[in-house]
Amino acid sequence: MKSVSTTFTTLILLTITSFSRASSSSTENFLECLSKQFINYSSISNDVYTPTNSSYLSILKFSIQNLRFATNSTPKPQVIITPEHESQIPPVIYCAKKNDLQIRTRSGGHDFEGLSYVSPVPFVIIDLFKLSDTRVDVATKTAWVGAGATIGSLYYRIAEKSPVLGFPSGNCATVGLGGQISGGGIGLMPRKYGLAADNVVDARIVDVNGRILDKKSMGEDLFWAIRGGGGASFGVITAWKVKLVDVPETVTVFNIDRTLEQNATQLVHRWQYIAPEVSRDLLIGLVVTRQGSTVRVSFYSLFLGGIERLLEIMKASFPELGLVREDCTETSWIKAVLSIGAGYPIETPTPVLLHRTNIYKGYFKAKSDFVQAPIPESGFEGVWRLLLEPEGAQARLEMVPYGGRMAEISDSAIPFPHRAGNLYEILQLANWREDENRDSGKYISWIRRLESYLTPYVSRNPREAYINARDLDLGVNNVQGKTSYAQASVWGKKYFKKNFDRLVRVKALVDPKNFFRNEQSIPPFLLR
């Protein structure tokens, strides 16, 4: 029996011929419609790209982060629109609806399955990278940030204005905030301040009818849905207003590597009991990779305080790790996120955070899980065996502890439901090189075997997953819009648990004809 991902890939390949037949007329009709919608078409003409434009491919590929979806056989959009103002978006929605074109909205292109820039049916991309203005208000501790801004640029603009304000967003500097916040947004301070989406106080969205709405005009239900429920199901989010959080002038970071020969298994096992319970000023995360013929575990940390206090906490709670002063570096919050999140040396000048080019582009398949009871040492040993297989040579596991503030926020406060009861999240990544892409199937098979192996050790009924680590293996919708509730709930309950039903109701109210849709978008049903 074919897997969901294999079926989806086959569908993409089968539609390429129809793309070429339909693209010419639909593109012409769409562009003609746009020209009639704008009093002065030249005001947007420089932001419209078709395959006949010399810049089309460079604009398309610029934000593709998973190179699995940058091949010649990957379906391409009829048109790419790069609006410079939100007022340019309603005509695009109108003309796409009139010409039966889907819309895919892209802010940073980090969608793990490429759904922000790939579709098996004719489509248009609205690329928001020009909507990246960020206005920080130190007095009110808030910021308005365009959906096309990156996490790194938001961090940089905050630090420009204040050394004692930050934001609990994600780790990767080139991720676009439009998608990251709309899926929740796990970062380096979740145990202190929760998710990025927990700290949103307003937003702007263009709905299916072309209305530009803010929190007040969109209403409570839609505002709830877009903060963690996946904004692309409900419209085009153009900006977020976020609440900034307090950070000390001095924070401390460390990174300690341990191999299997250095008791890494025992340390990871012990970490499960400590990381979710320790001071919420301290995040100790793990990155697990292959190192030659062994496995390396990197314990990394962000502590909202100085070295002396960190050493006291670690000596009392995790002496087994053997942390000493020489392992630690005191720095500013912005330098810490530059180092931990963006992967740069800590002395790197901070303007590098404004760069949109991701230094980690590659070929990968990802999965996510939540752990609710400590995994025994024997369980980790099985994971290590898989990593030591040939397909695990470039694989990566990331473990982020929960607890603290994450356990205090209600699982229905926003659509992201993974709160109390979860010890930590595991992100699993199978990576391969360009010269191995013809054999990508063996790497995807490998990560599915890892997923199967982890089954007894992770959440169940449902087996939870994180929407920002999107995985089409969990199930897909019919992109023609003929999706049943049962079909969508297969993946929907994994991402959103009981919040899925409320998302479905909101969708039915704001987009009843299901215009904004993709392979894992919220379907519209009027449930009781």
Question: What is the spatial distance between Cα 155 and Cα 333, in angstroms, rounded to a whole number?
Answer: 9
- Pick from 246, 262, 295: which residue ends a domain? 246
- Look up the domain containing 121 and give its range: 4-127
Question: What is the spatial distance between Cα 312 and Cα 129, in angstroms, rounded to a whole number?
Answer: 44
Given a cut of 80, whether residue 3 has pLDDT beyond it is no
Q: Are residues 189 and 222 in the same domain?
A: yes
Given a cut of 80, whether residue 202 has pLDDT beyond it is yes
Per residue in 146-156, pLDDT (tens digit) is 999 999 999 99
For 68, phi and psi rounded to 5 degrees? -55, -25
What pLDDT, on the 0 to 100 scale, is given for residue 23? 60
Does residue 229 fall inside a structural domain? Answer: yes
Question: What is the spatial distance between Cα 189 and Cα 167, in angstroms, rounded to a whole number?
Answer: 8
Q: Which of 18-27, 100-109, 155-164, 250-259 is least confident?
A: 18-27
Residue type, 138: V
Question: CA geometry: angle at 61 spanning 58 and 67, to 5°?
Answer: 150
Question: 14 pLDDT band (50/70/90 cuts)?
Answer: very low
Q: What is the CATH number of the domain that holds 95?
A: 3.30.43.10
What pLDDT, on the 0 to 100 scale, is given for residue 118? 96
Given a cut of 50, whether residue 5 has pLDDT beyond it is no
Give the relative orientation of helices 333-340 and 151-161 as an angle to the nearest 10 degrees: 160
DSSP classification of residue 457:
G
Q: What number is the average pLDDT over the span 325-333? A: 97
Q: Mean pLDDT over all residues of the chain?
A: 93
What pLDDT, on the 0 to 100 scale, is given for residue 16? 38
Looking only at the bridges linking them, the beta strands covering 251-259 and 396-401 are: unpaired
Q: What number is the average pLDDT over the span 184-212? A: 97
Q: What number is the average pLDDT over the span 459-478? A: 97
Given a cut of 60, whether residue 49 has pLDDT beyond it is yes
Question: 8 pLDDT band (50/70/90 cuts)?
Answer: very low
Q: Are residues 290 and 423 in the same domain?
A: yes
Looking only at the bridges linking them, the beta strands covering 79-81 and 123-127 are: parallel
Q: How many CB atoms lie within 10 A of CB 347?
A: 9
Does residue 291 fall inside a structural domain? Answer: yes
Q: Are residues 45 and 84 in the same domain?
A: yes
- Counting residues of the chain whose pLDDT is more than 70, the rounded percentage is 95
DSSP classification of residue 168:
-
Question: 462 pLDDT band (50/70/90 cuts)?
Answer: very high
Quick one: which of 271, 224, 280 has its CA closest to 408? Answer: 280
CB 102 within 8 A of CB 122: yes
Q: What is the CATH number of the domain that holds 175?
A: 3.30.465.10
Does residue 527 fall inside a structural domain? Answer: no
Q: Are residues 202 and 151 in the same domain?
A: yes
Q: Are residues 144 and 120 in the same domain?
A: no
Q: What number is the average pLDDT over the span 321-344? A: 92
CB 430 within 8 A of CB 473: no
Q: What is the CATH number of the domain that holds 258?
A: 3.40.462.20
Token pair in block for residue 493: 């309950």
Q: Which residues pair with 80 in a beta bridge?
A: 49, 125
Question: What is the spatial distance between Cα 281 and Cα 298, in angstroms, rounded to a whole number?
Answer: 20
For 203, phi and psi rounded to 5 degrees? -160, 165
Per residue in 383-408, pLDDT (tens digit) is 999 999 999 999 999 999 999 999 99
What pLDDT, on the 0 to 100 scale, is given for residue 7? 45
Does residue 74 fall inside a structural domain? Answer: yes
Q: Are residues 81 and 144 in the same domain?
A: no
Per residue in 215-274, pLDDT (tens digit) is 999 999 999 999 999 999 999 999 999 999 999 999 999 999 999 999 999 999 999 999
Does residue 515 fall inside a structural domain? Answer: no
Given a cut of 90, whether residue 4 has pLDDT beyond it is no
Give one DSSP letter per residue of 225-243, joined into a string: HHTTS-GGGT-EEEEEEEE
Looking at the 3D structure of the chain, how many domains does it have? 3
Does residue 389 fall inside a structural domain? Answer: yes
Given a cut of 50, whether residue 9 has pLDDT beyond it is no
What pLDDT, on the 0 to 100 scale, is given for residue 528? 67
- Pick from 417, 441, 469: which residue ends a domain? 469
Tokens 């030591």 belong to which residue? 388
Q: Are residues 414 and 452 in the same domain?
A: yes
What pLDDT, on the 0 to 100 scale, is given for residue 320? 98
pTM: predicted TM-score of the whole model, two decimal places:
0.93
Q: Are residues 45 and 91 in the same domain?
A: yes
Q: Are residues 147 and 107 in the same domain?
A: no
Does residue 438 fall inside a structural domain? Answer: yes
Q: Are residues 242 and 152 in the same domain?
A: yes
CB 338 within 8 A of CB 344: yes
Q: What number is the average pLDDT over the span 501-518? A: 97
What pLDDT, on the 0 to 100 scale, is given for residue 10? 43
Does residue 497 fall inside a structural domain? Answer: no
Q: Are residues 410 and 307 in the same domain?
A: yes
Q: What number is the average pLDDT over the span 467-489? A: 93
Given a cut of 90, whether residue 19 has pLDDT beyond it is no
Q: What number is the average pLDDT over the span 470-491? A: 93
- Pick from 415, 434, 469: which residue ends a domain? 469
Q: What number is the average pLDDT over the span 281-297? A: 98
Q: Which of 231-245, 353-367, 420-434 is least confident?
A: 353-367
What pLDDT, on the 0 to 100 scale, is given for residue 367? 98
Q: Are residues 460 and 325 in the same domain?
A: yes
Question: CA geometry: angle at 421 spanning 321 and 380, to 5°?
Answer: 45
Per residue in 112-128, pLDDT (tens digit) is 999 999 999 999 999 99
